[in-house]
A and B are shown apart, each in its own frame.
Chain A
């Protein structure tokens, strides 16, 4: 009996991600969801700019590489011309919550029937550890070398909370992949975010608290500990919106 195998929707290639980076886990969860729902042949993914720019090499479905922050607009163009296909974006915090804020907010409020996988690791990884819109107060990065000072660099942004105020949003959950239990939770959330799209419910977003051991300057284990002690209190895990739950409550 096979108990562990590579999802079919994940390409059989080595990734470029650093040791200890959680992108690999999240890629696998996305591929597992695509497999579980049997939608590989109908799915079109949109890769961002950032560490996951090469996501187009790692999923076996059709892929488009978008400009920095524009993935939700590109996904809108794909979905509006192919409403029966499944469209997802995979974006980091700089892409989704800084340069692409307008695209994120408006795709959400329009209720675009797409799925967004949002990696929040509180830093710009690809360019080498600069301050992100989600960098925590006090966190040291190469562009906040004395620690992020909200009086100077402003405050971080809580994406799930912000988007949850918008009517077009069907589902928003913040998860983490720091423990097996959390990975299982994340897996369910991601699968639901795709299922919602199949059921034409509107935009679903899963925010995954992630680590960047390389640019945080920590070992993978230390990074997971730092995530639990610093990111989770600022970005609490949980379901921020679920239109199904609302219907059940009625």
Chain B
């Protein structure tokens, strides 16, 4: 028997975090993410956890840093402008090799932008979450159920590789209600390495631990970054996720992620009904990027169409992954405007006619 409940994405994400052992949440209100913090505020006291509203996004991420430094599972969430504020703390957490979960329920930018869904933070999330050479493990779910499914994985990967992880959602996923089955979402249990590095008091039983991102000797700093990138390589090998649809015979492969990929799926069915061979690659992790899947599709497909809620960001990764061996087109709406399936179908037809 299924245990489905109807929940808003933001609330489901919060509940999933609690069910995955995260009992410390530090946040700040911002639309369209606020329900996540509100749910935490309501639920945490009942499960012996803590939801603390910080004085700023900056403080919230640093509270997460302090909690994570003691080896505690902790998270924060925000929306685009707030994630920019967190970027300082995110960079420090990477420099300190601290695990945590950050959720970005994206809205339109730049600046205060708007409160409608967007995917304008793709570059930020995958390439520049803060200063310095760094990456996060970034998951881009396409439904409320998938968002819930990925939370446990995000925490486990963060703990295993000592890296912050991010759920890159958007205002649509955060605000929409869909049926969710939490029992189905519990990921396979992983062996999480013991956090012997945690600064939770020596108890006079071990040498002191220091959590630090400062290296005065450039050789030491370089080595620490090289070591971290070795771990990134393992994340790329072991933790890259994507979904493929009709890629075997597709002339046109659409690459799209998150909420946009669902509109693309409708457009693909419409195109297929008209005899146009269209397929889909949907990155589930946007960092690491499923380069191999794109490269493989480039062997058989004639061209790629990238669809995003921005002016064209992930399109660069597709060009790199297929080494520009096939034409890569882009279609997007931005600022909180969503394309319809008809809009995407028209784009497909344009490309198909040009073949």
Please list the residues of chain A having a beta carbon within 8 angstroms of any beta carbon in chain B: 40-44, 46, 53, 56-57, 59-67, 70, 73-82, 85, 102-103, 105-106
Contacts and interface: CB of A to CB of B under 8 A. Distances in A.
A70 B200 contact: no
B67 A77 contact: yes
Interface stretch (B55-63, B238-246, B283-291): B55-63
Given A40-B204, A67-B92, A85-B200, A62 B50 contact: no
A77 B210 contact: no
24 contacts: A41-B202, A53-B214, A61-B208, A62-B200, A63-B208, A65-B96, A65-B213, A67-B88, A73-B58, A73-B65, A73-B66, A76-B66, A77-B62, A78-B66, A78-B67, A78-B69, A78-B70, A79-B66, A80-B52, A81-B74, A102-B55, A102-B59, A105-B55, A106-B55
A73 B69 contact: no
A66 B59 CA distance: 11
A103 B210 CA distance: 22
Interface residues of B, number: 39
B214 A75 contact: no
B200 A74 contact: no
B59 A41 contact: no
| Best-buried of A46, A70, A103 by chain B (most CB within 10 Å) | A70
Interface in B74-128: 74, 88-89, 92, 96
Contacts, number: 131
Q: What are the 6 closest A-B residue pairs judged by CB atoms, nearest first?
A: A77-B66, A73-B62, A62-B199, A106-B55, A41-B204, A77-B63
A80 B50 contact: yes
Contacts of A56: 210, 212
Interface of B: 24, 26, 50, 52, 54-56, 58-60, 62-70, 72, 74, 88-89, 92, 96, 199-205, 208-214
Contacts of B62: 66-67, 70, 73-74, 77, 103
A42 B69 contact: no
A61 B210 CA distance: 9
A75 B208 contact: no
B74 A77 contact: yes
A205 B89 CA distance: 24
Contacts of A63: 199, 208-212
A67 B199 CA distance: 17
Nearest to A49: B214
Contact of A70 (B50, B59, B72): B59
Contact of A74 (B50, B66, B201, B208): B66
Contacts of B92: 66-67
B56 A102 contact: yes
Contacts of B70: 44, 77-78, 81-82, 85
Contacts of B96: 64-65
A80 B67 contact: yes
Contacts of B213: 65
Contacts of A42: 201, 203
A9 to B, nearest CB: 10
Given A62-B200, A103-B62, A73 B54 contact: yes
A74 B59 CA distance: 8
Given A40-B202, A44-B201, A65 B65 contact: no
Contacts of A70: 58-59, 62, 65, 89
Give the residue among A56, A59, A64, A105 with the most B Cβ atoms within 10 A.
A64
B59 to A, nearest CB: 4
Nearest to A64: B211
A44 B210 contact: no
B199 A64 contact: yes
A64 B59 contact: no
A80 B69 contact: no
Contacts of B54: 73, 106
